[in-house]
A and B are shown apart, each in its own frame.
Chain A
Amino acid sequence: MSDRETDVREIIQNNIRNKKGIVNKIMPVFFFIMASVSVLTTIGIIVTLVTDAYKFFSAVGLSEIFSTRLAPLRAEDPTFGILPLINGTIIITAIAMLVAIPLGLTAALYLSQFASPRVRKTVKPILEVLAGIPTIVYGFFAYTFVTPMLMSLIPTLESKNALSPGIVMGIMIIPLVASLSEDAMNAVPEILKEGSLALGSTKLEVAIKVVIPSAISGIIASFVLAISRAIGETMIVTIASGSSKAFTFDITRSMQTMTSYIVEFTSGDAGSGTTGYYSLYAVGLILLSFTLVMNLIAQYISRKYREEY
């Protein structure tokens, strides 16, 4: 062996020996601790929610909780029926999805299958900007622009209502659906699309018969994320939907969601230790279980419908 080769060998050996040193032992531990932080935080949140929610559930009977009577601020005999809040959350989420899913999906289809590279390059950043607008701006937009506009179409519309924030929330969520579905559609291998084109399909048929079925798990995942996002959305509904605690299916009227209930109470006068105060934790817990269930559904559906390629 020449001198140079011996030198190189020696450097490599020393280097490997050094890697067995302290840094290589400590770093994985450090990473583990950092990863644990988020897990521990989650556990902490759940423990707090559950213990304080438990106080609420033991103070208020189940038959009252699952009723439509919600009057938490009444001085005499306040009632804590949660159904108006669940109803408001579901209705506004449904309106948002009726806007976000069709528009987001068609935008994704257009961008991934039909748009020229130049159009795609201009439209995608615009979508991302749309996604970055603070939700309070959307809330303001719903209350000062969309609601008055809708009022001229529907004269009976109340100034606080479920329809307007639902629509605006849908608009806010379009980029999320569009961007995630587009990613899923772009991941469909070119060779599958070619296989379909070579059988004489049109581009539209390729999109509908090959791209969407192949990307379905990603597309459904985007819907579920959109629903979770809508359930958790707070500012738009607080501003534009108001705080009516009536149980109603009339979307022209004010409704309160679980999130805006929490806003109302944390910024208002629910004294610590009162039933009203503990009701916040109960609502928070129910909100959390909603999103948890959504995620489980998403996992189940995407496993069931996955078309592997």
Chain B
Amino acid sequence: MKEIELTNRINTTDKMVFDVKGLNLWYDQEQALRDINIGIEKNRVTAIIGPSGCGKSTFIKTLNRMVENIPSVRITGEILYHQQNIFDKAISVEELRTRVGMVFQKPNPFPKSIYENVVFGPKIHGIKDKNLLMEIAEISLKRAALWDEVKDRLKKNAIGLSGGQQQRLCIARALAVNPDILLMDEPTSALDPIATGKIEDLVLELKKDYTIVIVTHSMQQAARISDKTAFFLTGELLEYDETKKIFSNPQHKKTEDYVTGRFG
């Protein structure tokens, strides 16, 4: 089948980057997501919160179809990315993933040099020109607020960086393929408070150019950096609203209990 091109984001004026409609997901027989309907807005930070096992990771891994790497997964419903269903057979998941980048819970730099980490994506996707690659590396590292700390040791192994630096390197690596969305699954849960603060500042900076979806267990983090918050409970999207509203005047009792720390 001929692959169709994903819409070029430059040409769209959509306010919504993802429109999720009636999404259900099962691991074997066990249903992990139930009838999720949510619109992710452009250039905003959307926080996904909820108790352990409620399906937060499953949900964001569905947005770049990484969840399909698990063989038992079955999905119904649709996710429109700029009006195109990402599950459409004609869409290439590889291309989708260059548009929808991902940062993981545990920093996972490749055991290669800092430079090689950042240009990994661009190289895979066919960029060979050394000057261009260097330019991409510099821009991406600057965007990830890491350039000043590593510019003198780009050829050194990334494993030698601190946890917080490694995580910002992973952000730079994701930015290097020019995504318009960044998915982050508890990106600071393995970091100390100072490194966490740096990532949070970075998220606020990045939202000017990118759309960010972030899973977090920290209510302070959600309140501080997100514009909208989605509260998941046992596979369902219980409440989705402006973050201010969720934290001050939620519709559901359970949301209130959760954000005030009464359960979860």
Contacts and interface: CB of A to CB of B under 8 A. Distances in A.
Interface of A: 116, 189, 191-192, 194-202, 205, 209-210, 213-214, 307-309
Contacts of B258: none
Nearest to A191: B108
Contacts of B124: 196, 199-201, 205, 209
Given A191-B104, A195-B170, A200 B110 contact: no
A214 B110 CA distance: 8
B51 interface: no
* The 3 residue pairs across chains A and B that have the minimum distance between CB atoms: A307-B111, A199-B121, A198-B102
A199 B123 CA distance: 11
B64 interface: yes
Contact of B69 (A192, A197, A199): A197
A279 B97 CA distance: 65
Nearest to A198: B102
Q: Report the interface size class on chain B.
A: 20 to 34
Contacts of A213: 110-112
Nearest to B159: A308
Contacts of A209: 120, 124
A189 B111 CA distance: 11
B104 to A, nearest CB: 6
B98 interface: yes
Contacts of B104: 191, 194-195, 198
Contacts of A309: 111, 159
Nearest to A201: B124
B127 to A, nearest CB: 13
Interface in B86-120: 93-98, 101-102, 104, 106, 108-112, 120
A145 to B, nearest CB: 40
A194 B67 CA distance: 10
A209 B112 CA distance: 11
A200 B98 contact: yes
A200 B102 CA distance: 10
B133 interface: no
A199 B66 contact: no
Contact of B101 (A192, A194, A199): A199
A129 to B, nearest CB: 28
A199 B110 contact: no
Interface in B47-97: 64, 66, 69, 71, 93-97
Given A195-B104, A196-B120, 16 more contacts: A191-B104, A192-B110, A194-B104, A195-B108, A196-B124, A197-B66, A198-B64, A199-B101, A199-B174, A199-B177, A200-B96, A200-B97, A201-B121, A213-B111, A307-B111, A309-B111
Contacts of A194: 66, 69, 104, 108
B208 interface: no
20 contacts: A192-B108, A196-B110, A198-B64, A199-B97, A199-B121, A199-B174, A200-B93, A200-B121, A200-B125, A201-B124, A202-B94, A209-B120, A213-B110, A214-B111, A307-B110, A307-B112, A307-B157, A308-B111, A308-B159, A309-B159
